[in-house]
């Protein structure tokens, strides 16, 4: 990226009067006599306590004991305490309070499996099943403060398990269903897990894949783990260890459908979600009952605008932040969410669109990576389905390129369905910046920071900049912020608060354009500086994926004795492409023409795939480390670790 930022473009979507009138944002602003979004942003970051209190009331969060103060900043903004002296359990606000009201019979969530089974669970049914699961956990001697892992496919039981752990005051430990043994062990041991929910296996592209043996090996290496509850998902033959292992269908349905919800302090530990860093062991982001779920519901309300009677499907595993975000956010809002256990293009490329049409999904959260993969399959796959239920697309995980964004917006959405771009992180409990239904959008852009987030873009000296690439920072605390890293407060401070006093440095490369729209251009440690000029990987990649034979691209910086850094690009080609030097020269010329010869790639390499996490984030840092023969750090979040070896062989 050159120092002057020119990534923007023309306005692609303007909100209709219907969008504006229906929006949660509009209702919230009218409640408080706020004339426009700009005024809301200003007030929300200048008076954090007012905004947080107003948000809790808007979301109708019920407390067993009211808080005496919204926040206590006496330990500094790095360590605030929220909802001081308050008592609440998030499960009461998700499920319990619906019982005896008209909401009890409404669908809480809809599910579908790869092999074609589907169903829905009402708030009343969810309440009763969560109670049974909570009673089963208590029967096993589990209770408040006990960490319980969830290592399961996206089946209905996973929602019940998540809420049952919270109901008894336990600590939810979400684990990606594709993890190997060492990744599961690291997290279970770090959290002193007492129990684990798992399944015999999972179906992927029509084949049953074993999960229980991984859980068994992990359990053997976790001294604190005493119990395992197993869902019979695939019918695979597995070993069940007497005294430790319990079939879900044997221990849970026989329990009473009545169970008390543990009265927890608002700041009691709810969940530890692990997120990989560039080096060292995974970081356990600590979240509380009044933290993560409140921020999730806020962003779902003000960004994707979910209302009761609407259905949100965000493609994610429960082991990533967006899984619990989906469950807590939708249930707090009294809406409906959708989960799918399977591959989104199986048995055919139209599976995703078919599910949207059949279940009348109103908001679809989809990754840029999946969109890029679907484009070559052809437009006929979405054209044959009625997608008129969709009000919004949404996306997170990685930066967009303009061409895939425009394909989704113009072709699939017919230029009418906005793409609510969303970026933040596990430690944020949601978004720093986000689209919304009342502000215009450009391709690849974010409308603004989310209310309550004092986001800024700064240069290398910490000064605010516009129309220029810089570090994404946050200047005030917010209720969803992590309460630190589990057992590692020093690492939390070092990671986020050590660069400038009282400023959260997120580690993303961002920019604001002259129209006030925001852009995230990759991790700041992905930034490439060629002969003193900053280069964002997304800009190079956007140029290359315009070529019809390039499906995906990832740009990294490598040491150069003259320029400081040179650009090396890894491209995934279309099936019919010929990976020869002529194509390399053609691609290099495209970048040179668009960016100038000094920024042309030093090398263009063709690979079968790019290393990605489950939520489709391309791991450029790992690409760079593999190519240069450096320490990879924690690779457990990758779904395709074999790509690393391919890249390592090219260095």
pLDDT score of 183 more than 90: no
Q: Is the whole model's pTM more than 0.75, yes or no?
A: yes
Token pair for 481: 């912020």
Q: Domain residues for 244?
A: 96-251
**16 part of a folded domain:** yes
Packing angle between helix 24-31 and helix 37-46, nearest 10 degrees? 70
Token pair for 99: 């019982």
What's the pLDDT tens digit per position in 109-123? 999 999 999 999 999
Do residue 541 and residue 499 come from a single domain? no
Do residue 291 and residue 371 come from a single domain? yes
**5 part of a folded domain:** no
- Between CA 198 and CA 215 the distance in angstroms is 7
**170 part of a folded domain:** yes
What's the pLDDT tens digit per position in 428-471? 999 999 999 999 999 999 999 999 999 999 998 999 998 888 99
Centre a 10 Å sphere on the Cβ of residue 76 and count the other Cβ atoms it contains. 11
Range in 224-238, 277-291, 492-506 the model is least confident about? 277-291
Q: Average of pLDDT values for 127-140? A: 98
Q: Average of pLDDT values for 627-646? A: 89
Do residue 483 and residue 627 come from a single domain? no
- Residue pair 283/274 in contact (Cβ under 8 Å)? The answer is yes
The total of structural domains in the chain comes to: 3
**148 part of a folded domain:** yes
Q: What is the CATH number of the domain that holds 616?
A: 3.30.300.30
Do residue 440 and residue 456 come from a single domain? yes
Q: What is the CATH number of the domain that holds 155?
A: 3.40.50.980
Do residue 535 and residue 514 come from a single domain? no
Whole-angstrom Cα Rg for the chain: 24
Packing angle between helix 537-544 and helix 581-595, nearest 10 degrees? 130
Q: Which of 489, 522, 555 is the last residue of a domain?
A: 522
- Distances 270 to 166, 171, 203 between C-alpha atoms, Å: 6, 5, 30
How many percent of the chain have pLDDT more than 70? 97
Q: Average of pLDDT values for 251-269? A: 98
Do residue 16 and residue 60 come from a single domain? yes
Q: What is the CATH number of the domain that holds 396?
A: 3.40.50.12780
**262 part of a folded domain:** no
Packing angle between helix 37-46 and helix 48-58, nearest 10 degrees? 120
Alpha helices in 168-211 (DSSP H): 181-190
Q: What is the DSSP letter of 233?
A: S
**631 part of a folded domain:** yes
Do residue 63 and residue 151 come from a single domain? no
**pLDDT higher at 592 or 488:** 488
Do residue 182 and residue 207 come from a single domain? yes
What's the pLDDT tens digit per position in 185-236? 999 999 999 999 999 999 999 999 999 999 999 999 999 999 999 999 999 9
- Between CA 587 and CA 590 the distance in angstroms is 5
pLDDT score of 4 more than 50: no
**4 part of a folded domain:** no
Do residue 79 and residue 131 come from a single domain? no
What's the pLDDT tens digit per position in 557-613? 998 876 778 999 999 999 999 999 999 999 999 988 877 777 889 999 999 999 998
Q: Which of 220, 251, 282 is the last residue of a domain?
A: 251
Do residue 340 and residue 304 come from a single domain? yes
Do residue 338 and residue 486 come from a single domain? yes
Is beta strand 448-449 parallel, antiparallel or unpaired with respect to 336-341?
Answer: unpaired
Do residue 516 and residue 540 come from a single domain? no
**563 part of a folded domain:** yes
- Residue pair 521/538 in contact (Cβ under 8 Å)? The answer is yes
Query: Which residues have a Cβ under 8 Å from the Cβ of 254 and sit 6 or more positions away?
Result: none
Q: Which of 192, 217, 251 is the last residue of a domain?
A: 251
Is beta strand 363-365 parallel, antiparallel or unpaired with respect to 147-151?
Answer: unpaired
- Between CA 555 and CA 553 the distance in angstroms is 7
């Amino acid at each position: 990226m050159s120092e002057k930022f020119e990534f923007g473009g023309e306005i692609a979507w303007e909100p209709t009067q219907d969008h504006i009138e229906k929006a949660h944002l509009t209702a919230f602003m009218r409640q408080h006599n706020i004339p426009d979004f700009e005024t809301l942003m200003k007030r929300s970051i200048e008076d954090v306590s007012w905004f947080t209190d107003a948000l809790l009331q808007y979301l109708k969060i019920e407390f067993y004991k009211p808080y005496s103060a919204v926040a206590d900043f006496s330990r500094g903004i790095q360590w605030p305490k929220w909802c001081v002296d308050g008592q609440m359990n998030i499960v009461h606000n998700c499920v319990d309070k619906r019982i005896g009201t008209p909401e009890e019979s409404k669908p809480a969530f809809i599910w579908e499996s790869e092999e074609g089974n589907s169903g829905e669970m009402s708030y009343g049914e969810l309440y009763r099943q969560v109670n049974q699961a909570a009673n089963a956990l208590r029967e096993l001697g589990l209770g408040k403060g006990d960490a319980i892992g969830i290592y399961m496919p996206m089946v209905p039981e996973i929602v019940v398990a998540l809420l049952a752990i919270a109901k008894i005051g336990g600590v939810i430990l979400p684990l990606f269903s594709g993890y190997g043994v060492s990744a599961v062990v690291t997290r279970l041991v770090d959290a002193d897990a007492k129990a684990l929910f798992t399944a015999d296996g999972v179906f992927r592209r029509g084949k049953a894949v074993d999960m229980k043996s991984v859980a068994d090996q992990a359990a053997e290496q976790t001294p604190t783990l005493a119990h395992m509850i197993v869902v019979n998902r695939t019918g695979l033959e597995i070993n069940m260890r007497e005294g430790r292992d319990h079939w879900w269908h044997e221990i849970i349905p026989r329990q009473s459908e009545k169970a008390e919800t543990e009265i927890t302090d608002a700041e009691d530990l709810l969940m530890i979600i692990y997120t990989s860093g560039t080096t060292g062991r995974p970081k356990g982001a600590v979240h509380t009952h009044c933290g993560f779920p409140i921020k999730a519901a806020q962003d779902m309300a003000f960004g994707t605008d979910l209302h009761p009677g609407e259905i949100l499907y965000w493609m994610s595993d429960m082991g990533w932040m967006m899984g619990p975000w989906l469950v807590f956010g939708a249930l707090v809002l009294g809406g409906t969410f959708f989960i799918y256990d399977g591959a989104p293009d199986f048995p055919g490329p139209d599976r995703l669109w078919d599910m949207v049409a059949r279940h009348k999904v109103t908001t679809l959260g989809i990754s840029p990576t999946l969109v890029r993969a679907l484009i070559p399959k052809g437009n006929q796959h979405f054209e044959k389905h009625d997608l008129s239920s969709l009000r919004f697309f949404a996306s997170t995980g990685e930066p967009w390129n303009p061409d895939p964004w425009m394909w989704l917006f113009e072709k699939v959405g017919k230029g009418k369905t906005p793409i609510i771009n969303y970026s933040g992180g596990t430690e944020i409990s949601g978004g720093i910046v986000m689209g919304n239904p009342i502000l215009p959008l450009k391709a690849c852009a974010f409308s603004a920071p989310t209310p309550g987030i004092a986001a800024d873009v700064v240069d290398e000296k910490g000064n605010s900049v516009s129309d220029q690439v810089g570090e994404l920072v946050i200047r005030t605390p917010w209720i969803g912020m992590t309460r630190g890293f589990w057992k590692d407060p020093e690492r939390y401070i070092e990671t986020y608060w050590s660069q400038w006093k009282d400023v959260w440095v997120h580690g993303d490369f961002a920019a604001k354009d002259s129209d006030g729209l925001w852009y995230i251009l990759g991790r700041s440690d992905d930034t490439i500086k060629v002969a003193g000029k900053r280069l964002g990987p997304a800009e190079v990649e956007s140029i290359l994926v315009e070529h019809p034979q390039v499906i995906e691209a990832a740009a990294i910086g490598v040491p150069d004795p003259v320029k400081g850094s040179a650009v090396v690009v890894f491209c995934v080609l279309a099936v019919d492409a010929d990976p020869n030097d002529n194509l390399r020269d053609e691609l290099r010329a495209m970048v040179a023409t668009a960016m100038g010869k000094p920024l042309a790639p030093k090398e263009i390499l063709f690979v079968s795939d790019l290393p990605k996490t489950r939520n489709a984030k391309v791991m450029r840092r790992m690409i760079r480390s593999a190519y240069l023969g450096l320490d990879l750090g924690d690779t457990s979040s990758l779904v395709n670790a074999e790509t690393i070896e391919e890249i390592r062989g090219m260095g």
